[in-house]
Chain A
Amino acid sequence: MEPRISIINKRLQNVKRVVVVASGKGGVGKSLLSSGLALHLEKKGCRVGLLDLDFYGPSSHIILGVHDVFPQEDKGLIPPRVSGISFMSLVFFTHDKPAPFRGGDITNVILELLAITQWGSLDFLIIDMPPGIGDETLDVLRFIKKSEFLVVTTSSKVAYGAVEKLLVILKEQKIPLLGVVENMKQGSSSFVETEVVGRDIRYLGGILFDPHLEDAIGNTDSLSKTTFMKELVVCFDRIFF
């Protein structure tokens, strides 16, 4: 018998909202948006946690510039604070080496992380997801009942084609869906907005491609000053404040 499942609700009982940043497509900006959202909510005075569930290509620690910290062992693991955010990632254990997991291993890792991480009281737990609707997405749906999804796409029809699959399954399963962000927006096409609204899903707005974003990666102060962040705030304040 698997004991870990039954403790997960307790671990998350003082977490008010769980925001899952997901997409059917890779490379659309989930990780940047997750970190950006966490930083913004923290600035607004919220207690925020960030969990990186992308085991093949973890990125949150790179974006936030996480160095020389490790969870504190106390009846579980207490995530270290990074720029005011409680941060948990598998990189603390992989030492940034590749993690060649099969599906069942991913489920085990997610279960273990959720069972031993002591988040304490949080207003928001943000989850940075890998792309797609595979193991991680199914496990989040299975284990974290209070998940609310925030879906990211780009303006490309190719990206949206994959993102739509995620939207369809979330809708079918009646999972709370906060809305869709159109990241790295180019041109003035309203293709994504029309499609999203046509599915009766909230379109949260577009974020333009920011040529200076790359220079700010790894430094949360610089990140907070980017045009990317200014536009992100406009999209998210619509739903969170």
Chain B
Amino acid sequence: MHEWALAESILSAAQETAEKEHLKTINEITILLGELQQIEHDIFEFALKELAKTEGKKLKHVKFHIKQEKSMLQCTRCEHTWSFDEMKKTLGIDEAEAIHFIPEIAFVHARCPKCSSPDFDIIKGRGVSISSIKGS
């Protein structure tokens, strides 16, 4: 359940933003879950809500919008693009789990499906990120 650690980072970043922008309350946080990291939406949302209760008054009424972000990987050598869905078929359970903990582990256990290069980029859908924070 390392989702908790990442959820905690969202709330801590939100608090930081509130401080920087002099917001009294944060109403809404929109979060992107990149496909590569395979975060469990339900666990993540539960963790966010539980943690928000202990974060003080600025986050008391916050709403979370969680969106899935499809992944895109692109080979640096042959420019072929593919997705984690496709990559997953070539991975063992342990390998997929390692990517869940640290998405860059994809470079260790996966290759470009066209030219077998380990030199590719994660263009989209890496992991957890904040797309917007709204407050007043």
- CB–CB A7/B102 < 8 A: no
B107 contacts A by Cβ under 8 Å: yes
Min distance, Cβ A56 to any Cβ of chain B, angstroms: 12
Assess A6 versus B12: contact at CB under 8 Å? Given A75-B2, A93-B108, A94-B108.
yes
B135 contacts A by Cβ under 8 Å: no
**Binary A-proximity of B96-112 (CB < 8 A = 1, otherwise 0):** 00100111110111000
> Which of B3-11, B57-65, B67-75, B82-90 touches A?
B3-11
**Binary B-proximity of A97-122 (CB < 8 A = 1, otherwise 0):** 11111100100110011011010000
Assess A77 versus B98: contact at CB under 8 Å? Given A6-B12, A93-B105, A94-B108.
no
Q: Which of B105, B119, B129 interacts with A3 by CB under 8 Å?
A: B129
Closest B residue by C-beta to A115: B9
The CA of A191 and the CA of B98, in the complex, are separated in Å by 46
* Chain B contact residues, majority secondary structure: helix
Closest B residue by C-beta to A4: B9
Assess A101 versus B104: contact at CB under 8 Å? Given A1-B129, A1-B133, A94-B98.
yes
Q: Bin the interface of chain A by size.
A: 20 to 34
Assess A100 versus B107: contact at CB under 8 Å? Given A1-B129, A112-B102, A116-B101.
yes
Q: Which residues of A contact B131 (CB under 8 A)?
A: 1
Min distance, Cβ B132 to any Cβ of chain A, angstroms: 8
Q: Which of A6, A76, A102 interacts with B5 by CB under 8 Å?
A: A76
- CB–CB A99/B101 < 8 A: no
Q: Bin the interface of chain B by size.
A: 20 to 34
- CB–CB B1/A75 < 8 A: yes
The CA of A108 and the CA of B2, in the complex, are separated in Å by 16
Assess A7 versus B104: contact at CB under 8 Å? Given A1-B133, A93-B98.
no
- CB–CB B126/A3 < 8 A: no
Closest B residue by C-beta to A104: B121
Assess A3 versus B128: contact at CB under 8 Å? Given A75-B1, A93-B98, A93-B101.
yes
The CA of A97 and the CA of B10, in the complex, are separated in Å by 31
**Binary B-proximity of A104-146 (CB < 8 A = 1, otherwise 0):** 0100110011011010000000000000000000000000000
**Binary B-proximity of A188-199 (CB < 8 A = 1, otherwise 0):** 000000000000
**Binary A-proximity of B18-43 (CB < 8 A = 1, otherwise 0):** 00000000000000000000000000
Min distance, Cβ A86 to any Cβ of chain B, angstroms: 16
Would you mind naming 14 contact pairs between A and B with Cβ atoms under 8 Å apart?
A1-B130, A3-B13, A3-B128, A7-B5, A7-B9, A10-B8, A76-B5, A90-B102, A100-B107, A100-B118, A100-B119, A109-B104, A115-B5, A116-B6
Chain B residues near A (Cβ < 8 Å):
1-2, 4-6, 8-10, 12-13, 15-17, 94-95, 98, 101-105, 107-109, 118-119, 126-131, 133
Chain A residues near B (Cβ < 8 Å):
1-7, 10, 73-77, 90, 92-95, 97-102, 105, 108-109, 112-113, 115-116, 118
8 shortest interchain CB distances as A-B pairs: A76-B5, A7-B9, A75-B4, A93-B98, A3-B13, A1-B130, A3-B9, A116-B5
